[in-house]
Chains A and B, each alone.
Chain A
Amino acid sequence: MNLARVRKKERIGERFVLLEIEDRDIATQAQPGQFVMVRPFEGVYDPLLPRPFAILRAEGNCFAILFEIVGRGTSLLSRLEPGNELYVLGPLGRGFSLEAPSAILIAGGRGIVPLVFLALELTKRATPFSFFLGVRERKELALLRILDGISEISWSCEERVTGGFCGTVLELFKKHFDATLKGDVRIYACGPEGMLQALSKILTGREETTEVSLEARMGCGFGVCLGCAIPRRDGGYWHVCSDGPVFKLSEVVL
C-alpha cells in the first residue's frame, strides 16, 4: 500500500463523495474497470480492511474515485480533506475490454463510476457509444455532473422529474433496444444486483458481448484470501478481485 495525498474533494449530492488522489503509478497504469483498495488511516483496526473502489478517471499524476457513503468505512473516508493522506493499493483487477466497434454503457446508481472511465477512453478512441444512467431518487441526479464532457447520455429516474425518463434504466434502455442493438455492438453494465439480473434476461443470446462490472465484499483485493467468490457458470467460483471485477455475462451466474 502506498501513502498518497488527497488533492481534491467534491461532494456530489447528499451521499456521494469524489476524491482526487495523487499517485503517479496508479494514475499512469489504471485501465477502465480496474479498482483500488483504499484505507483512510494506518494503524486503525476498526475498520480493519481496506475498501475497494472503482476508478472514475486517471490523468497525469492523479486518479479519482467516487463513492457512496454507506457504512463506517466510507463514512471515515468521506471525512478526508485535500492535503490529507490515505493508503492506496492498485490498480487492481481485470478491466473492460476496450476493442469495440460501437458500445452501449448502462449504469445504475453508483455503478456509473467505472463506466465514466470507460466512456472517456471510448471517446479518446473515437468509438461511438450511448450512455444510459438510471437512478432511484431525484437527488441522485447530482451524479449527472460527473458526465460533463461525455456525449450521448440518456438518463432515467424512478421518481418523477422533468427532463428525463421516468422509470428504470432498463425500461429506458428497452425503448432504444431495437435501434441501438443493430450491428456489432458491445454492451457494458454496472449497477445493483437486481438490475444486472434483469439485464441478463433482456440480453439472452448476447452474453459473449456483454460485460458487467461486479461489486463484492473483499478481503485483500489482490487474489490471496479468496473471500470475494461468486459462482461461475461452469461450476466452482470466480474471485471478483483477481478474475474480475469485469466479467462477460456468459461467465457468471447473477
Chain B
Amino acid sequence: MNLSVHLGRLVLQNPVVLTSGTCGYGKEMQPYLDLNSLGAITVKGLSLFPWPGNPPPRIWETKAGLLNSIGLENKGVERFLEEDLPFLEGLTTRVFVNIWGRTVDEYVAVARKLNEVKRIDALELNLSCPNVEKGGATFIADLEVLKRLVGEVRAATEKFLIAKLGPQVCDWETTVALLEEGGVEALSITNSFPALVIDVERMDFVFALKTAGLSGPAIKPLALKMVYDLVGITKLPVIGMGGITTAEDALEFLLVGAKAVGIGTASLVVPSSAIRVLEGIKQYLFRKGITDVEEIIGKVR
C-alpha cells in the first residue's frame, strides 16, 4: 500500500502531520508516539526573539472544543536551534517549522536563520493567529503587507514554503493568487477560529485579550468546508486541519482534496492520536481495496 503523498516538490511518507502549537518543539512528544511513523511534525511558531505569551488564563474548555489564548509563547529561534534541533536531527520524518514575526523584517530574519538548517524541510508562515494584537492577523488582512512579506521571505529561503491560513481571510481568491504568485508552495488551513467566552459568575471576559482561538471537534465541519472551498480555487497542495480527531475525520479532508491532514487539539487530548488516525486510514484503504492513498484525494468534489 502506498501512503506517500506529493505536495509539489515535497514528498511525505504519509499524509498525517502534527500541527504547530500542539506538539511543542518535537521532543516533548517522543514518550508518547513514534514521530518517525508520521508524515511530518510542525514545530510550534518561532519568532526572532523569545516571546513570553499571554497572561493566564490561557485555555478554556467549551463543548467539543478548546479556546486558547497562548499568545505565541516560544523560546525564540536561537534557543530552538541550540536546545531542540539536536533531537530533530535524529529523526527521519519531515520537519516543518512554523514561524511568525511582529514585522516583515522579523519573519525574514527567522526564515534566513532556518534556511541554513539542513534538517528542516519546510517553513510554515503563520499569517492568521488571532491571539497577539500585533501578530499574524494584520498580515493576512492587509494584502499589500502580505505581498511584501511573502516576497521577502521567499527571497530569504529556499525551503519549501507553506502559508497557514485562517478564518480571517477576507478576499480568498485575491489572497490565494497573491500567495501563489509570491512563491508559496502549499497552504495549510485552518488555524483556530476567533471566539468568545464569558465568565458569568465574574461578569467578565474569561481571557485578558477578550477573544481566543477555538479549536477541536467543534470546528471540524467549518474547517472541512474551508478546505473544500480552497481546493476549488488553488492549484497549490492543501494541508487540511481543524478538529480532526479520528481517521474518519481525516478521510473527509482527504476526500475533498487535502493532500495531507493535520492533527492538533486531538494530540492534547490523547498524545498518540495521530498514530491512531494513520492506522485508521490504512485500515480504510485496505478495506476498500485501494492501494494508493493519493487515489482518494479529491474524490469528492
Contact = CB atoms under 8 A, between A and B. Distances in A.
Interface of A: 1, 39, 45-50, 87, 89, 216-220, 222-231, 235-237, 242
A48 B24 CA distance: 20
B214 to A, nearest CB: 11
B261 interface: no
18 contacts: A1-B271, A39-B269, A46-B63, A48-B217, A49-B269, A217-B57, A219-B66, A219-B268, A224-B268, A224-B271, A225-B70, A227-B58, A227-B68, A228-B58, A230-B56, A236-B52, A237-B56, A242-B28
A146 B124 CA distance: 52
Nearest to B32: A222
B64 interface: yes
B23 interface: yes
A87 B270 contact: yes
Interface string B250-275: 00000000000000010111111000
**Interface residue tally of chain B, by bracket?**
35 or more
Contacts of A47: 61
Given A220-B267, A227-B59, A236-B52, A48 B64 contact: yes
A240 B198 CA distance: 24
Contacts of B63: 45-46
Interface in B150-180: none
Nearest to B272: A1
Nearest to B60: A217
B68 A229 contact: no
Interface string B22-60: 111000110110000000000010000010111111111
Given A219-B66, A219-B68, A222-B32, A48 B269 contact: yes
A45 B216 contact: yes
B269 A224 contact: no
A229 to B, nearest CB: 5
Contacts of A48: 61, 64-66, 216-217, 265, 269
B78 interface: no
B21 interface: yes
B73 interface: yes
Max chain B C-beta neighbours (<10 A), residue from A39, A87, A236, A237: A237
A1 B270 contact: yes
B28 A50 contact: no
A225 B56 CA distance: 13
B58 to A, nearest CB: 5
Secondary structure call for the A interface: loop
Nearest to A51: B61
B90 to A, nearest CB: 19
A223 B59 contact: no
Contact of B70 (A39, A45, A226, A230): A226
Contacts of B217: 45, 48
Contacts of A50: 269
Report the 7 A-B pairs with minimum CB-CB distance, sorted nearest first.
A227-B59, A45-B64, A224-B24, A220-B268, A236-B52, A227-B58, A45-B217
Interface in B118-172: none
Nearest to B243: A45
Of B55, B61, B66, B272, most A-chain CB atoms within 10 Å = B61
Contacts of A235: 52
B21 A225 contact: yes
Contacts of B57: 217
A225 B45 CA distance: 12
Contacts of A236: 50, 52
Given A50-B269, A224-B22, A224-B268, A219 B28 contact: no
Contact of B58 (A39, A46, A229, A231): A229
Contact of B53 (A217, A219, A237): A237
A98 B266 CA distance: 35
A245 to B, nearest CB: 14
Contacts of A87: 270
Contacts of B28: 222-224, 242
Contacts of A89: 32, 271
Contact of A224 (B29, B50, B64): B29
Nearest to A231: B55
Contacts of A226: 53, 58, 70, 73
Given A226-B53, A237-B53, A49 B66 contact: yes
A217 B52 contact: no
B267 to A, nearest CB: 7
B22 A217 contact: no
A230 B73 CA distance: 13
A237 B73 contact: yes
Contacts of A49: 61, 66, 268-269
Contacts of A219: 59, 66, 68, 268
Residue in A218, A236, A242 whose Cβ sees the most chain B Cβ within 10 Å: A236
A103 B28 CA distance: 33
Given A224-B24, A237-B73, 13 more contacts: A45-B64, A46-B64, A48-B66, A219-B268, A220-B22, A225-B68, A226-B58, A228-B58, A229-B53, A229-B55, A229-B56, A229-B73, A237-B52
